[in-house]
Amino acid sequence: MNLKSISKKVNKIVKKAGLYIKSERGKVSNQDVSDKSLNNLVSYVDKTAEEILVEGLRKIIPEAGFLTEEETVKQDDNPLKWIIDPLDGTTNFLFGLPIYSVSVALADGDNLLIAAVYIPELEELFSATKGGGAFLNDKPIFVSKTKTIQTSLAATGFPYYKFEYMERYMTMLEKYMRSTRGVRRLGSAAVDLVYVACGRFDFYFEFELNPWDVAGGLLIVEEAGGKTSSFDGTKSALSGKEILASNGILHEWLIPNA
């Protein structure tokens, strides 16, 4: 499998979906929006973007399965699958905030092979292949060289539906607020991750996400020289249930404080 060749095709499809989403900005009415669950919004834009992605990606590797947020295609247990979040940051998009993204990854089991995250409003396309490095608009990117927590900038995502984690989350948040330059909350996990990858953030942490929220960004962070794990450092962050991503230098310090 030629990962670099496939990656170029994936990038075009991801950008196509992102440009569609951008074209719908400001056109979505309240009647077009529904709640999948508490504070988990969806509209025709999410679903159409996913259909664009599925149609294009299926042509690249017909035998690959799909794991997608909106389930516009049959979900299966094929180890080789595309993991898709057609619009990460739906609430931002619907409220007119420019921080949202399209995220795609190709996984073989738990092994991530290809990733692309596109931020339409900024025209930033992040991509990576296993062992091939990470890129922003075709230029190599690397994590920060920040060596101390005191000089770091962190990113997070606030709990918005599973509030039983609130106490543990607030404990972590307080520690990082007191020990870093600051903590930012952008509203798109994929954006947070690629911002770690290119050095805009030094680390990122969040609870209770899903594989489609994080798969693309995880590979990009790792290929940019960073580290990803569960909060205790023992497990993969691919499930999204616990995710800690850093420049690698800070990772060991962060784990005991989680």
Q: Note the pLDDT tens digit of each residue in 116-168.
A: 999 999 999 999 999 999 999 999 999 999 999 999 999 999 876 667 778 88
Q: Residue 257: what pLDDT?
A: 52
How far apart are alpha carbons 166 and 74 in whole angstroms? 34
Predicted local confidence at residue 31, as pLDDT: 81
Is residue 39 scored above 60 in pLDDT? no
| Mean per-residue pLDDT, 31-41 | 67
> Average pLDDT of 48-52?
96
Window from 47-51, 102-106, 164-168, 218-222 with minimum mean pLDDT? 164-168
pLDDT on residue 41: 66
Residues 113/3, Cβ–Cβ less than 8 Å: yes
CA angle 144, 246, 172 (to 5 degrees): 130
Look at residues 179, 177, 185, 164 and name the one whose alpha carbon lies nearest to residue 250.
179
Closest by CA position to 142, among listed 39, 249, 57:
249
Residue ranges and CATH numbers for the domains of the chain are 3-140 (3.30.540.10), 149-257 (3.40.190.80)
In degrees, rounded to 5, the angle at the alpha carbon of residue 212 between the alpha carbons of residues 97 and 136 is 65
Q: Do 35 and 176 touch, CB atoms closer than 8 A?
A: no
- pLDDT exceeds 90 at position 63: yes
What does the pLDDT look like over 166-209, one tens digit per residue? 888 899 999 999 999 999 999 999 999 999 999 999 999 999 89
**What pLDDT was estimated at residue 188?**
97
Is residue 141 within 8 A of residue 20, CB to CB? The reply is no
Q: Which residue has the higher pLDDT, 35 or 229?
A: 229
Q: How far apart are CA 243 and CA 235, in angstroms?
A: 9
Helix pair angle (3-23, 44-60), 10° resolution: 160
Q: How confident is the model at residue 32 (pLDDT cuts 50, 70, 90)?
A: confident
pLDDT of residue 233: 92
What's the mean pLDDT in 68-89?
93
Q: How confident is the model at residue 258 (pLDDT cuts 50, 70, 90)?
A: very low
Specify the 3-state DSSP secondary structure of 145: coil
